[in-house]
Each structure stands twice: as structure tokens, then as C-alpha cells.
Structure 1
Amino acid sequence: MNTPPAGIETLDFSYEGRHPVGPFAPVLVGVVGSGHLEVLLEPAEPPACRVQVETSAHGFRPIWQAVMDDFHARHGLAGVRVSIHDMGATPAVVSLRLDQAVAELSAGGRP
């Protein structure tokens, strides 16, 4: 029997953004817990959109890459740092939380 790796896996992604966000207050959505995740958006230097994922589920980098590529293709944020703290959420939940964070950002007068 294989023993799963202990601890948290950290994944980093970086994109060249197309839509500068400008100054904004940090946005936090979601709750970390069993099967959930939180997403934090913070201002960063444009044109980059940097993403850091901390996840309890090891070995899913290709899936995270696909979810983040899709997010960036749809939103193309520039000047944003995205931090994701995951406790085993499904890709659909990750996409939902990311879209929710962008909606909160938009409600504050941004993209």
C-alpha cells in the first residue's frame, strides 16, 4: 500500500495579463475546510497575474494547470496575485470560487 505524501503541496503559475485591474482592496471568498477552499485576490505588479496554490491533494498539477489556464483565458487579469488554499475541492468548485472572487472584484468597480 502506498502512503500519501504528508503536508501541503505548493504550486505556482504565472500569466501575462490582458486586463489591468488597478488598485483594489484584497478580496477573500470561500472557507478552508474539508472539501473546500478559499481564494484571495491581492494587488500585484502588472502585467503579471501570479497564482499560488496550496493544496492537501498531492499529484494533481496537470488538473490545476488546466483550471488556471481556463481561468486566465476567461478573465486575463493583470496586476493580481491569486492565493488558493485548498482542502480537496473539485475543479468545478475551484472555478466557481475563482469566478466568485472576480465578481467581488467587479462589484468594487473593477473588471
Structure 2
Amino acid sequence: MEKISYTFPASKQIEHFAHVGVVGSGDLEVIIKPTNHSKTNITIRTGIRGYKTIWESVIHRFFQEHDISAEVKINDFGATPGVVKLRLEQALEVSCHDKYNKN
């Protein structure tokens, strides 16, 4: 298992916890928890070694575009960069809309 971590400055608050995707062949799960900090911490756990440069590119691009304050955990099982971006966008959508949160 490889563990990759990133921290970015952030200024926008999100409202809700979000959990999307599954850890399975060619997929990943994304868990986003809101924080009151002026930063976002991202932790990626992946069983696929040697793709740190690609992860860095996808994660930097997404979090520069979406300046959210959160704790983000990504558990990967060989997802492509397109799937990573899709799951991050889904988690962000869920975390920002009440209709997805039944609690």
C-alpha cells in the first residue's frame, strides 16, 4: 500500500460529510469531511505503486479549482484519472447540497 498526502490552502466551507464510490477493481472511494480550518488535507491510500506524479497532477488541478476546506480520504483500487476526477466531483456535489443528506 502506498500512502500519499497533500495539503492545500482553502477558503470555502462545505456543509456536509460525503462518501461516494467503492473500493473495488478499477474504482475508488472518496470521503470528505467539512472542517473549520483554512486548509484541505488529502490522504490517498492506493495499492498501485508508481503513479504519484499522476496523482499529484489530478489532485492539484481539482483542489486549485475547488478551494474547499475539508479532510479528504481517497481509497484507491486502480482507478483511472478520469474516475478520480468524477468521484471527487460527486463527493463535492454531495457535500454541498442538503437534498443528498437525510440526517
Please tell me whether residue 75 in structure 1 is matched to residue 63 in structure 2.
no
1:9-64 CA-partner distances (Å, limit 9, x unpaired):
0000000013123x53x210001111110000013341010000000110111111
Unaligned runs of 5+ in 2: none
Give 2:95's aligned residue: 105
Of structures 1 and 2, the larger Rg is shown by: 1
CA RMSD of aligned residues (A): 1.4
Amino acid at match of 2:85: S
Amino acid at match of 2:67: G
Give 1:52's aligned residue: 43
Please tell me whether residue 10 in structure 1 is matched to residue 7 in structure 2.
no
- Helix, strand or coil: the match of 1:34? coil
- Specify which of 81, 86, 91 is matched with residue 76 of structure 2: 86
Structure-2 separation of matches of 1:43 and 1:103:
13
Question: Where has structure 1 moved over 6 Å in runs of 4 or more?
Answer: none
Structure-2 separation of matches of 1:45 and 1:82:
14
Q: TM-score, normalised by structure 1?
A: 0.83
Q: TM-score, normalised by structure 2?
A: 0.89
Give 1:33's aligned residue: 24
Per-residue deviation, 1:108:
2.5
The number of equivalent residue pairs is 99
- Helix, strand or coil: the match of 1:35? coil
